[in-house]
């Protein structure tokens, strides 16, 4: 079956512009995560969605970052007024929703802010 997909695979933008990154989780997965991976750094948690519950936004680095998940499926991560330090690979993962379930990752979106 289809895995987690993300689009675009690469995004180059100018400082100050807004960007939207998309994640399509595995069908039926209720949990969805966004992470950021900067060069030479580990995975940084950004936001977590579980079903219809309010998302855990505790990892968002600033109010320029926001995310939504429509219909319990597709998610969009929006970065407003991008800065050069936002350059990173943004990874999305989904799972069936339980604490013991495997996380499945998408291929990521590489964001470059010039």
Partner 1 sequence: KQEVTQIPAALSVPEGENLVLNCSFTDSAIYNLQWFRQDPGKGLTSLLLIQSSQREQTSGRLNASLDKSSGRSTLYIAASQPGDSATYLCAVRGSYIPTFGRGTSLIVHP
CB 21 within 8 A of CB 90: yes
One residue of 30, 36, 48, 75 binding partner 1 per CB under 8 A = 48
CB 9 within 8 A of CB 69: no
One residue of 26, 79, 91, 111 binding partner 1 per CB under 8 A = 91
CA atoms within 13 A on the CB side of 35: 18
**Coil/strand/helix, residue 86:** helix
**Nearest-approach distance from CB 107 to partner 1, in angstroms:** 4
Kindly list the residues in this chain that would bind partner 1 in the complex (CB under 8 A).
4, 6, 31, 33, 41-43, 45, 48, 50, 56, 59, 91, 93, 99-100, 102-108, 110
């Amino acid at each position: 079956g289809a895995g987690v997909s993300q689009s675009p695979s690469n995004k180059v933008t100018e400082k100050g512009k807004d960007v939207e990154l998309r994640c399509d989780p595995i069908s039926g997965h209720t949990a969805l995560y966004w992470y950021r991976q900067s060069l030479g750094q580990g995975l940084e948690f950004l936001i977590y969605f579980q079903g219809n519950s309010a998302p855990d936004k505790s990892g968002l680095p600033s109010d320029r970052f926001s995310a939504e998940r429509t219909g319990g499926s597709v998610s969009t991560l929006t970065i407003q007024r991008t800065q050069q330090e936002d350059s990173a690979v943004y990874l999305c993962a989904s799972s069936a929703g339980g604490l013991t379930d495997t996380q499945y990752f998408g291929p990521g979106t590489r964001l470059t802010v010039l």
